């Protein structure tokens, strides 16, 4: 299968290892990964802030970049960006009276998947340890992001994949369905509320005793990681794609820690 990578802004600019991990997973399964060069922002920030007209050219650019027929499906390691492509793009085009763009956006959205959705529903991955060689001997808790839960209805796909990684000790997170408080521009426009929500999320993560918090959206993990860091916590964050891509031969790099060596965490 030929799969187009939708890297997303924040992953491309700040967390390229997540994009590389996504490619590594898919190539490990024997698929060809291509990167549409015209891609940029999906416009989610504009839409969520109410700038519908300003979002139209951004959406049109994304559609133009991904409407080629030379790939089978597109994938992104971001529930919020995929939710924007699948749900917001056609809606915004329709609300602005561009029926042609609405139809094109819907076609692109229908071929676009969040990573766990693609792995589980399309590629039939049910056991990351045996099918991907995933190995990650750490105590981990998992935060499900709002867009993945509520718009994409990913359910427990990401968590099920993490549960099958060899060596992992996956600890349930208290109140997992509570928002971390990021919400893109929400965290800037409503800083006090966002900070209070983040404090609750950080407290729940800390209560698990995990050394690492994983999830499926780099933006949420950035927000959570920043909050934990400001508290002086040693807990790190890592996208679930990087955990799935981690193997004994090529273990994941965790910020602030030495690479795993010889099957044990380096002391």
Per residue in 151-208, pLDDT (tens digit) is: 889 999 999 999 999 999 999 999 999 998 887 778 778 888 989 999 999 999 999 9
38 secondary structure, DSSP code:
T
pLDDT tens, position by position, 241-263: 999 999 999 999 887 543 333 33
CA-based nearest residue to 25, from 225, 222, 252, 265: 252
pLDDT digit string (tens) for 212-235?
A: 999 999 999 999 999 999 999 999
CA pair distance 219, 10, nearest whole angstrom: 7
pLDDT number for residue 191: 84
Q: Tell me the per-residue pLDDT of 59-113, one tens digit each, with 9 for 90 and over.
A: 999 999 999 879 999 999 999 999 999 999 999 999 999 999 999 999 999 999 9
- In the prediction, which pLDDT does 256 show? 56
Neighbouring residues of 191: CB distance < 8 A, sequence distance ≥ 6: none
pLDDT tens, position by position, 113-145 = 999 999 999 999 999 999 999 999 999 999 999
Describe the strand order of the beta sheet including 73-76 as a list of residue ranges.
Answer: 32-34, 2-5, 73-76, 112-114
Q: What is the DSSP letter of 18?
A: H
Query: Does the pLDDT of residue 146 top 70, yes or no?
Result: yes
Contact 108, 69 (CB under 8 A): no
Q: Where are the alpha helices (DSSP H) in 115-256?
A: 115-117, 128-132, 146-150, 157-163, 186-189, 191-207, 218-230, 240-245
Residues in contact with 32: Cβ distance below 8 Å, sequence separation at least 6, in sequence order = 1, 2, 3
Cβ proximity of 44 and 88 under 8 Å: yes
């Amino acid at each position: 299968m030929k799969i187009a990578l939708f890297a997303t802004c924040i992953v491309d600019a700040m967390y390229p290892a997540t994009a590389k991990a996504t490619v590594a997973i898919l190539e490990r399964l024997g698929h060809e990964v291509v990167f549409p060069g015209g891609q940029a922002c999906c416009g989610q920030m504009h839409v969520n802030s109410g700038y519908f007209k300003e979002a139209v050219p951004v959406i049109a650019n994304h559609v133009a970049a991904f409407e080629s027929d030379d790939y089978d499906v597109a994938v992104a390691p971001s529930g919020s960006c995929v939710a924007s492509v699948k749900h917001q793009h056609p809606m915004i085009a329709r609300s602005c009276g561009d029926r042609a763009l609405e139809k094109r956006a819907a076609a692109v959205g229908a071929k676009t998947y969040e990573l766990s959705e693609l792995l589980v529903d399309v590629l039939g991955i049910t056991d990351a340890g045996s099918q991907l060689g995933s190995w990650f001997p750490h105590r981990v808790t998992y935060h499900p992001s709002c867009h993945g839960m509520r718009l994409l209805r990913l359910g427990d796909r990401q968590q099920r994949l993490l549960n099958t990684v060899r060596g992992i000790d996956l600890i349930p997170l208290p109140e997992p369905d509570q928002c971390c408080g990021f919400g893109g521009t929400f965290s800037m426009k409503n800083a006090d509320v966002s900070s209070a929500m983040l404090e609750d999320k950080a407290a729940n993560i800390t209560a698990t005793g995990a050394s690492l918090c994983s999830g499926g959206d780099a933006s949420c993990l950035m927000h959570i990681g920043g909050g934990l860091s400001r508290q002086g916590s040693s807990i790190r964050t890592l996208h679930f794609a990087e955990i799935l891509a981690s193997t004994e031969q090529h273990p994941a790099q965790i910020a602030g820690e030495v690479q795993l060596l010889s099957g044990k965490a380096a002391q």
